[in-house]
Structure 1
Amino acid sequence: MRITVFGATGGIGQEVVGQALAAGHEVTAVVRDPDRLPESMDHAAIHAVARLDDPAAVRTAVAGRDAVLSGLGSRGRKADGIAERLTGRIIDAMDAEGTRRLLVVSAVPVGPVPVGEPLVDRLARKAVAAVLAEVYADLARMEAALERSATDWTSVRPPKLTDGPCTGTYRKVVGGAPVSSRAISRADVAHAMLGLIDDPAAVKQGVGVAY
C-alpha cells in the first residue's frame, strides 16, 4: 500500500512510519524540517520526504496514494489553530489530486461522552478539557473541516498518550469512545490508524481508542 504520513517526526507519526515500513508499505514522509527525521528511522526505506511548507511538494506527496495519515497537532496548551490550519492544507492538496482516504489524530474529549461513563471519569474529562480548552477547540474545528471535505476521512480519538509499546490490544468504538478512556500508547494509536485504513465502517467517523 502507498501511504503518506504527515507529522512524521512526532511521536505518533514516527510510529506510523515505522510500523508501515515494517508491514511492507511504501511510505512518503511529510515534515516541516527533514533534518529532524530521527537517525533510527530507516531513511533508505522511505519512498520520499517532502516539506510541509511547500504546497507543490505536499500535492506531489499525496498524489496517487492509497491513504494519507496525519499525526499533526499542538505540542502544548497553545494550539494557535495548528490542527485546523495544517489539516486544511492537506485537504486542499488531496482535493487537487483526487486522493480520498485520510486518517487524522484528534482526541477523546472532542467526541461524545460514552453512555454509562462513571462520574469520576466525567469529572476528569471536564478538568482536562478546561486545561486544554484551546487545543480541543482547534481539534473540533479540524473535525468540522473534515466533515465539510470530500475526503473519506476518519478521526482517531485517543485519551492521554503514553510512550508505551505497541500491544495491538485496546478498545475501539466507531462513532464514540470506550467507557473510561484514560490512556493509550502512541504506538497503539499508530497501530489503530493503520488498521482502520481499510475499514469501511470507520469512513467519515470519529473512532475512540483506549485501553
Structure 2
Amino acid sequence: MRITVFGATGGVGGHVVQQALAAGHEVTAVVRASSSYDVQGIEVVRVAGLTEAGPLLDAVDGRDAVISGVGPRGTKSGPVASGSTRSILAAMAKTGVRRFVAVSAAPIGPPPPDESFLNRRLLLPMIRAIAADVYADLRVMEADITSSDTDWTIVRPPKLTNKAVTGRYRTSLGPTVPAGYLIGRADVAHLMLAAAANPAMIDQAVGVAY
C-alpha cells in the first residue's frame, strides 16, 4: 500500500512508519519543517504545521491510506488532535483519498457491558476528569471523523507503554476492552496498519489493550 503517516515523529506514528516500511509499504511521513527527522527509504514531506489543508495535498494525493498518530503529548497540550485532523480530512476530501485510520483514547469510548463496577464508576470518571481538556479535544476530533466522507477507523488505546511490538492484544469493535489498562505504542501501530487493510474495520471505533 501507499501510506501517508501524520505524527511520524511521535511514539505511535514513529512505529507506524517503521513497521510499514518493514512490511514493504510505500511510506510518506509528514513532519514539521523544523524537524530533523530523517528515515531512509521513505518520502518525507515537511510542512509548517497542520492548520491548513493546502500544504498537505501533495502528501496525501494518490495514497491508498492515511494514518494519523497525531495527539497530545500531555494534559496541557491544548486542542492538538481536532485542529490537525480537520486539516487532514479536508486534504483527503480534496484529493479523493478515502481510507483514514486515526488514534484516539480509550476513555472516549463506552465501557463494555461486563466492565467492573470499580472501573465504570470510579476509575474511568477519575481519568476523564484528570485530562478533561484532552478528552474534550479528542471527542471533537472523533465527531469530525465520523461525520466525514472517509472510510474511517478510530483506534482507542488505554495507557501507552514502550513495550516492543508483540502483535498479541485484545480488540473490541465499539466498546473499550474489558479491564484493558495498558498497550504498547508499537502494538497500537501494529493494529493501525492492520486496520488500514481490513474492510471489517471501516466505520468502526476499535478498542485495544493487552
Query: TM bucket by the smaller chain?
Result: over 0.9
Q: Which residue of the partner structure matches residue 154 of structure 2? A: 155
- Closer, same or farther: CA 102–11 of 1 in aligned 2, 3 Å: same
41, 49, 60: which is aligned to 1:45? 41
Does the 8 Å CA contact 1:7/1:72 hold for their aligned counterparts? yes
Could you list the runs of 5+ residues in structure 2 that have no partner in the other structure?
none
Does the 8 Å CA contact 1:52/1:58 hold for their aligned counterparts? no
Is 1:85 matched up with 2:88? no
- Closer, same or farther: CA 180–18 of 1 in aligned 2, 3 Å: same
Q: Which residue of the partner structure matches residue 121 of structure 1? A: 119
Give RMSD over aligned pairs.
1.4
Q: Shift of residue 76 of structure 1?
A: 1.1
Aligned residues: 207
% identical equivalent positions: 51
Q: Tell me, what secondary structure is at the counterpart of 1:172? A: strand
Could you list the runs of 5+ residues in structure 1 that have no partner in the other structure?
none
Q: Report Cα offsets for 1:40-91 as digits up to 9, x if no partner.
A: xxx2301232326274431100001000000101111124221110000000
Q: Shift of residue 96 of structure 1?
A: 0.3
- Closer, same or farther: CA 52–93 of 1 in aligned 2, 3 Å: farther
Q: Shift of residue 164 of structure 1?
A: 0.6
Does the 8 Å CA contact 1:34/1:49 hold for their aligned counterparts? no
Q: Distance in 2 between matches of 1:52 and 1:152?
A: 27
State the AA in 2 paired with 1:45: G
Q: Tell me, what secondary structure is at the counterpart of 1:154? A: strand
Does the 8 Å CA contact 1:91/1:149 hold for their aligned counterparts? yes
Q: Report Cα offsets for 1:90-127 as digits up to 9, x if no partner.
A: 00000000000000000111011111101232221111
Q: Distance in 1 between matches of 2:167 and 2:136?
A: 30
68, 71, 74: which is aligned to 1:76? 74
- Closer, same or farther: CA 3–160 of 1 in aligned 2, 3 Å: same
Does the 8 Å CA contact 1:6/1:31 hold for their aligned counterparts? yes
Does the 8 Å CA contact 1:79/1:138 hold for their aligned counterparts? no
Length-normalised TM-score, structure 2: 0.94
Length-normalised TM-score, structure 1: 0.93
Moved >4 Å (runs of 4+): none
- Closer, same or farther: CA 34–187 of 1 in aligned 2, 3 Å: farther
Q: Tell me, what secondary structure is at the counterpart of 1:75? A: coil
Q: Distance in 1 between matches of 2:95 and 2:191?
A: 26
Q: Which residue of the partner structure matches residue 67 of structure 1? A: 65
State the AA in 2 paired with 1:2: R
Q: Which residue of the partner structure matches residue 21 of structure 2? A: 21
- Name whichever of 24-33 and 47-56 sits farther off: 47-56
Q: Shift of residue 152 of structure 1?
A: 0.7
